[in-house]
Amino acid sequence: MRTEVILITPELAKEYLEKARQNRNTNKHTVNFYADEMLRGQWKLTGQGLSFGKNGKLLDGQHRLKAIIKANTAIELLVIHDVEESSFSVYDSGKTRTAADIFAIEGIPNNVQLATIIIKYIKMVKGHKFGSHEINSKVMKITKEDSLQEYKNDSDSWQQIVTFAATIYRKYRFYSISDVGSITAYLIKDKKHSQTKVINFFLELVELAPSRPTLTNLRSTLIKNMTNRVLDNSDKRQLAIFLIRAWNSYITDHDRKQFTHTIVNSADDIPAFL
């Protein structure tokens, strides 16, 4: 095999794609994600690039090439020639590093929980509602660099948030650590509510402080309907809606006596945090 680093222009990317063997279908979300990294200058030259077989056919790199075309920019890639075509079966079998992996490499405590909290928080800031499909899915990818930078911008605050979220979760496991942490961050950092108000809301919900009627009623509803059962996506969506409605009642000093199920056909049916 021989290797070289080549500046791949959109024109060259199109030429290389014509040499592609019939390998896996490309994923448009991956292409969009790569293209976004390229446009933002976050794409790094690594040991992963393009691989060509001894017959000149492209074995690996379709997503990168299509991203270059979509971004309409030139990117340096490692190009490997004369690869045994039989090795194609083991391509992409390695584990991609996650944001949690990057946090661990940086020596950040609570790396797994923090990475998930921050990814959910960034998605909410970008306009996706808590409880929507996009919050928990991989369709909308957040770059590892963005997650790490968000942490570094206010590391002490993020460590306090994950510790607080874990405390709430240990008391009542209705909402995950990442749910409590991302909502806490969103309400304080983005919606600009007072830290005391947000913290007291969750403390009252889990009976670590005297509860207002709204939160007492929510807690009773959750205990009655959500314990001792496996929750499906519809249940989790209802949990999210209950919490949003409880917060909106709490922040406006209106007591909510009942929490009833809502039919959700799309994210538009999910209320937003005030």
What integer is the mean pLDDT of 202-209?
A: 91
Specify the pLDDT at position 210. 87
Q: State the DSSP code for 273.
A: P
pLDDT at residue 140 in the model: 64
pLDDT category at 24 given cuts 50, 70, 90 is low
> What is the assigned CATH class of domain 2-85?
alpha beta
Return the number of other C-beta atoms located less than 10 Å from residue 6's C-beta.
Answer: 15
| pLDDT mean across residues, the chain | 87
For the chain, give the longest Cα–Cα distance: 73
Domain-by-domain residue ranges, the chain? 2-85, 99-269
Backbone phi, psi, residue 93, to 5° = -85, -15
How far, in Å, CA of 111 to CA of 78, rounded?
Answer: 31
Q: Over 70: is that where the pLDDT of 190 sits?
A: yes
Q: Which is nearest to 37 in space by CA: 11, 58, 16, 64?
A: 64
Name the β-bridge partners of 77. Answer: 6
Cα gap 218→150, rounded to integer Å: 32
CA distance 268 to 81: 50
Beta bridge partners of 51: 60, 80
Give the separation between CA 148 and CA 155, rounded to whole angstroms.
Answer: 10
Residue type, 260: T
Give, in order, the Cα–Cα distances in Å from 157 to each of 12, 160, 181: 46, 5, 11
| Range scoring the smallest mean pLDDT among 79-88, 196-205, 211-220, 265-274 | 79-88
Q: Are 1 and 83 in contact (CB under 8 A)?
A: yes
Q: Which residues contact 73 (CB under 8 A, 6 or more apart)?
A: 10, 38, 39
Cross-sheet strand order for the sheet of 75-83: 2-8, 75-83, 50-53, 58-60
Instruction: With residue 178 as reference, give the H or E element that holds it.
Output: helix 177-185
pLDDT per residue as tens digits for the range 131-142: 887 777 665 678
Nearest by Cα to 270 from 252, 230, 243: 243
Cβ neighbours of residue 96 under 8 Å, at least 6 residues apart? Answer: none
48-104, pLDDT tens digit by residue? 889 888 888 888 888 999 999 999 999 999 999 988 866 654 554 445 668 888 888
Place of tokens 């690594």: 46
